[in-house]
Amino acid sequence: MGKSNVYWMDAHSESTETSLVSKMLTVFDAAELDDLIEPNDIVAIKIHCGEWNNTAYLRPVYARAVADRVKELGGRPFVCDTTTSTYSAWGSRSSELDIMLTAERNGFSSATLGCPFICADGFIGTSDVRIDLPEGYLLKEAYVAQAIAAADTLITLTHFKGHGMGVIGGALKNLGIGGQSKRGKLNVHMGGHPTYGLGAAATFHPEAFKGKANTPDWEILEDCCPFDLWHINDNDEIEWDREKCTNCLGCPGIMGSRGILDVPAVNFDAADVAIADAALAVEKAVGRGKIGYINMALDVSPKCDCANHADIPIVPHLGVFASKDPVAIDMACVDAARRSVGMPGSATEMMEAHHSGDRKFEAAAATFHGQSEVATINTGHANGLGSRDYELIEVSPAAPEKYRFPYDRRPSRQRFKERFIQSPPFPYERHDGHGFDRKGEVDLEAMKVHYEDATNGHRVTEDVEALAPADDD
Ligand code: SF4
């Protein structure tokens, strides 16, 4: 496989055509993603709507702008995400009902998007299409969310960031996890796998449980598993039916923090590889050449948007990327993060990986030392999904007219002259034509003085004389 093109614009913005929304649409066109959409195509726009209380997920305006562009091209867009596996005892996107409520709270609804928001894998997460993967590196089948598999075209709109399990949360993860049904996620997580699954590879320490009497919240140890695999028996001992573990990841946080369970690093390494195979399954379901990728490398938080919080970004905004190759676009983003310096005060600085050239995601995002930020990328290269060799093409801004307010393109006089005559916003008849009641002149310079300068370097709040406004009445 040869080099793939990745189109890129930096994150600087000082005008309407350099707005990040405009830049996203500019790289969309530069990468010829518009060519993927035929009139009447049903177009899925796959986003991550963010967990309850996450704050780093992409603002809904980006999905809205893509949906508007799809409509301009004659397509029928819908924006979608999928249910989680459940990930935690208190997940907020574990069913269709949950995800619709969380998406609305985070700003994703038909009112904001101009098209429906859909839970792509059904009410519980079992609406899917099984895909054979003879070419998979690890997976030999995958389960793609039904609404994504049914789409004519897919635009994968990704918030590029870190991920505790995947190390990077890019385009490959958006499809290899986010494009899978709940059943598909359990497959990718290695649920039931005889070597890499949690049931096979985790270390169980039943002795770490000190009895119900010494564990005031002991009920959560049973309640965290939706498959009912943890029990405290009549002898006041904890038991785990590990053979049936599906790797839903509902329990590791709770059990791990109490020393009851050690999650094995190999489980995460295997899942990182499986993500690329599952992403390949999405390409097979939708059709080769019918998927476009946009990576918004902004607010590059160390953990995924499926976390119920978002930490300080680990690098400054890296820019806006578009491609038809998910492997190349993720590689370009990882390289950009590696070239960048780390963000002061972020996890990269805490891990002393804030220098240009440091592997930021391995240091600041991975759960285990030894996980690789290129494992999923390398697997996507190996299974034929895409190429990690790419050409990064910097795109120039488009003409500003293209990105002006589209609902009324007339300049102000044409839009407001008659309305301002009817309902004047400025009272010309008052105060000799000056309109409003204000002082004629004040000491503006006095308000610019810093405390430190006015008090010889001391923040002395009592000594405010130097800051008093001039009496000019
Ligand atoms: S035991 Fe397995 S199935 Fe049950 S919560 Fe833990 S990871 Fe999920």
Return the CATH number at 17: 3.40.50.11440
Q: What is the pLDDT of residue 263?
A: 96
Give tens-digit pLDDT for 378-437.
999 999 999 999 999 999 999 999 999 999 999 999 999 999 999 999 999 999 999 999
Ligand 1 atom closest to the CA of 225, numbered from 1: 5
Q: What is the pLDDT of residue 473?
A: 47
Which residues constitute the domain of residue 222? 198-263
The number of folded domains in the chain is: 3
Of 239, 263, 287, at which residue does a domain stop? 263
Give tens-digit pLDDT for 5-59.
999 999 999 999 999 999 999 999 999 999 999 999 999 999 999 999 999 999 9
Is 413 part of any domain?
A: no
Ligand 1 atom closest to the CA of 241, numbered from 1: 1
Of 350, 366, 401, at which residue does a domain stop? 401
What residues are in contact with ligand 1 under a 6 Å CB criterion?
A: 198, 224-225, 227, 229, 245-251
Q: What percent of the chain has pLDDT over 70?
A: 97
> Do residues 321 and 388 share a domain?
yes
Is 283 part of any domain?
A: yes
> Do residues 277 and 258 share a domain?
no
Of 353, 371, 401, at which residue does a domain stop? 401
Closest by CA position to 402, among listed 62, 72, 47: 72
Question: What is d(CA 256, CA 427) in angstroms, rounded to the nearest whole number?
Answer: 68
> Do residues 279 and 330 share a domain?
yes
Structure token pair of residue 147? 């609404």
Q: How far is CA 209 from CA 242, 327, 417, in A?
A: 17, 44, 76
Give tens-digit pLDDT for 157-171.
999 999 999 999 999
Q: What b/e readout covers 259-273, taking b as 16+ CB neighbours within 10 angstroms?
A: ebbebbebbbbbbbb
Give tens-digit pLDDT for 66-106.
999 999 999 999 999 999 998 889 999 999 999 999 999 99
238-240 and 230-232 strand pairing: antiparallel
> Do residues 168 and 283 share a domain?
yes
Q: What is the CATH number of the domain that holds 238?
A: 3.30.70
> Do residues 357 and 231 share a domain?
no
Choose which residue among 94, 224, 248 to substitute to test ligand 1 binding: the one with the highest number of ligand atoms within 8 A of its C-beta: 248
Q: What is the pLDDT of residue 456?
A: 75
Question: What is d(CA 169, CA 229) in angstroms, rounded to the nearest whole number?
Answer: 29
Q: How far is CA 19 from CA 34, 127, 207, 299, in A?
A: 20, 38, 57, 15
Is 412 part of any domain?
A: no
Question: What is d(CA 149, CA 94) in angstroms, rounded to the nearest whole number?
Answer: 20
Ligand 1 atom closest to the CA of 224, numbered from 1: 5
Choose which residue among 88, 198, 221, 257 to substitute to test ligand 1 binding: the one with the highest number of ligand atoms within 8 A of its C-beta: 198
Which residue's CA is the closest to the ligand 1 atom numbered 4? 225
> Do residues 295 and 151 share a domain?
yes
Choose which residue among 227, 238, 249, 254 to substitute to test ligand 1 binding: the one with the highest number of ligand atoms within 8 A of its C-beta: 227
Choose which residue among 90, 220, 247 to substitute to test ligand 1 binding: the one with the highest number of ligand atoms within 8 A of its C-beta: 247
Question: What is d(CA 429, CA 443) in angstroms, rounded to the nearest whole number?
Answer: 28
Q: Please list the residues that pair with 336 across neighbouring strands.
A: none
Which residue's CA is the closest to the ligand 1 atom numbered 1? 245
- The residue-averaged pLDDT of 297-301 equals 98
DSSP helix/strand/coil, 163: strand
pLDDT at residue 152 tops 60: yes
Q: What is the pLDDT of residue 219?
A: 97
- Lowest pLDDT segment from 111-120, 208-217, 362-371, 449-458: 449-458
Which residue's CA is the closest to the ligand 1 atom numbered 8? 248
Distance 236 CA to ligand 1 centre (A): 20
Distance 217 CA to ligand 1 centre (A): 18
> Do residues 18 and 158 share a domain?
yes
Ligand 1 atom closest to the CA of 228, numbered from 1: 4
pLDDT at residue 470 tops 90: no
- The residue-averaged pLDDT of 187-213 equals 98
Q: What is the pLDDT of residue 471?
A: 55
> Do residues 232 and 282 share a domain?
no
* The one-letter amino acid at 27: V
Ligand 1 atom closest to the CA of 248, numbered from 1: 8
Q: What is the pLDDT of residue 469?
A: 56
Mean pLDDT, rounded, of the chain: 96
> Do residues 294 and 359 share a domain?
yes
Is 411 part of any domain?
A: no
> Do residues 139 and 253 share a domain?
no
> Do residues 291 and 230 share a domain?
no
Distance 57 CA to ligand 1 centre (A): 27
Distance 162 CA to ligand 1 centre (A): 24
Choose which residue among 165, 246, 263 to substitute to test ligand 1 binding: the one with the highest number of ligand atoms within 8 A of its C-beta: 246
Ligand 1 atom closest to the CA of 230, numbered from 1: 1
Is 370 part of any domain?
A: yes
> Do residues 64 and 115 share a domain?
yes
